[in-house]
Structure 1
Amino acid sequence: MNPSEIRKQFPILDQEVNGEPLVYLDSAATSQKPQSVIDTIDQYYEGYNSNVHRGVHTLGTRATDGYEGAREKVRKFINAASTEEIIFTKGTTASLNLVAASYGRSTIKKGDEIVISQMEHHSNIIPWQQLALQTGATLKYIPLQEDGTISLEEVKKTISPATKIVSMAHVSNVLGVINPIKEVAEIAHENGAVMVVDGAQGAPHIKMDVQDINCDFYAFSGHKMCGPTGIGVLYGKKELLEEMPPIEFGGEMIDFVDLYDSTWKELPWKFEGGTPIIAGAIGLGAAIDFLESIGLDEIEKHEHKLADYALKRMSEIEGITIYGPKDSSQRAGVITFNLEDVHPHDVATVLDAEGIAIRAGHHCAQPLMRWLKASATARASFYLYNTEEDIDKLVEGLIKTKEYFSNVF
């Protein structure tokens, strides 16, 4: 793949910020959108905007075909067995909340255990905290190794026959760690638990096969994989989804409504109450087409190369602390760091003046920040449109930042 040529397909990247060419290094927060995705969404609104599954007129048929066609693209993208296993949601957060509220509330009881890791995003902590509080279950954490990775020995020690749910990020949004979710799923299943995967940082970057991983649920968002905001996916094994009750009620998800009782549609529609996110789903389908035209294997290879280059270049800066494993093969294209005696918000502000966009803060991972003994960190994240030149500019900007604050103070 040629990232410089790919970059040309993203119109937002062809601009100056504060008088400098934009260097966008915040794709872990949200990715940019190629022209093909923007055009596809425009075409829906301009050419066949209509509700789905209801009307028999031409526009309604075209909208339904586009919406359900996107579901099939998602199915193929993650190699699910059936489109019945693909639920459209608002995003990863909504998907994880659906599992906790539906599967969790209908199966978890006092004395059961829910196991997660210390590196999780708040979206994969708070739903399980609330489920434990509501049911009397015990929430347990898999401890991290010194470099922020997870040991399968610790996984085996933490998961027990009382464990009913194990939930883990495919890729950490802070440390960039790629977790061994296939092996963790196997340990979970040996103990009679289901495996939930937060794939927000995984699906955009790593070729996914949910049947090979054998996870029970996998959640991800469109906006982190070149698609629009407001659309996400929950994959769930059919036999589990069939037993789960819906948590939103209204139009679209019903079969028959009487005065005092109702019945639900079959999968996947019983979980998609109300007018769905039609343009978002169609846009996500276009994003999948775009990513697959390049190849997820090529994207993953490119990001490992960038991570390796960034680790080497950034390690040359005196007074920098880089969090997570030093081996680029163990991480995705995310580098989280701090400069000595410079607050990460100040780092991000100075870099922005140079046209470089990074993220600073706790990254919705406050428990992990406490484990790192940092109130906040700076984060640079890469995607298919980034180059080694972007990293060179980041390093130059960090050196300028360091010099600026050493002169000020």
Structure 2
Amino acid sequence: MPVDGLMAAERSIADALLAHYRVRARTLPWRSPPGAALPDPYRVWLSEIMLQQTTVAAVIPYYHRFLARWPTVEALAAAQDGDLMAAWAGLGYYARARNLLACARKVAGELGGLFPSDEAALRALPGIGAYTAAAIAAIAFGQRAVVVDGNVERVVSRLFAVETPMPAAKPELRALTDSITPDAHAGDFAQAMMDLGATICTPTRPACLTCPLSARCAARIAGEAERYPVKAPKKAKPTRRGVAWWVEADGAVWLVRRPDKGLLGGMLGVPGSDWTETGGETGLPLAGDWLLLNEPVRHVFTHFALELSIARMRLDRPGDPLEIAKALGPGQWWPRERIAEAGLPTVFARVARAAMAPRGEDGINE
């Protein structure tokens, strides 16, 4: 196809999608309607950090709670670390929460409370990578930016029938997205692409008959839309194992604060052994009458699956906090009936439910 014809085809893709978006745009709490004034950069940034690897449905209630509690970047910057981590509990990928607070403090403390408008400056902020910087630049500041998330990759891979398997196809998909991104209305275009992938060009059973780009989609024309994006064979996730030590005394349970860096960093959790593929140390930290529950808690992280056995013990009295901390790790006694308020990450919330469930003789005394 001649260059002029190719450019016209690319413009027609953007025009068709933007026309569809003006009528069918999803209503989301952080989004301005098509053609309306640009939204508050703080709200766009907050939503984009929350939406990383998390569904819109899961994010919306968290977004509302965060905005009600911390309505500005200055308010968020002043939050206590533990309060923010507790508010984030259940949303997963907890490094995002630590970066959220670090970014808020940098914007409030060094940038006068104003987010920068260009991608390079945005990428210099904690927790903001290429996708998030492009999304904020386009959506909050109206800049032309190439915004590529998982939904966009799926749409573009089908639109151009890209045969390169993922993730090797990512640079090619970004270049193709760049080729169809318009100079004007880049924020609306980015959100339109995301909406298309979320509601029409879905991973399975895409609704091609209702797609505004179906006449231009190479995968749809070939009758094999679901084959794209082409995926490389998945590697099996390793399984790690460990033991959670559930220790109670006088209606309270001992919780520890995990190190700031690393998995679930900065969160309150249940003490326990290391998590290793060999199962790690299984020795119990305190002498006493332990009950090893029959069923382990299972949880899947990004890079590994976890099987966490639960050893439970009730002390006659709380004892010396220093002695407990030495055996279980520095922490605090938390009221058992208020465990839901501790802001435990999902894996430890599951441990708590299992440990507190009414039980008969279903454990093994050791």
TM-score, normalised via structure 1 length = 0.27
- Greater relative contact order (Cα < 8 A, sep 6+): 1
- Could you tell me the TM-score, scaled by structure 2's length? 0.29
Larger Rg: 2
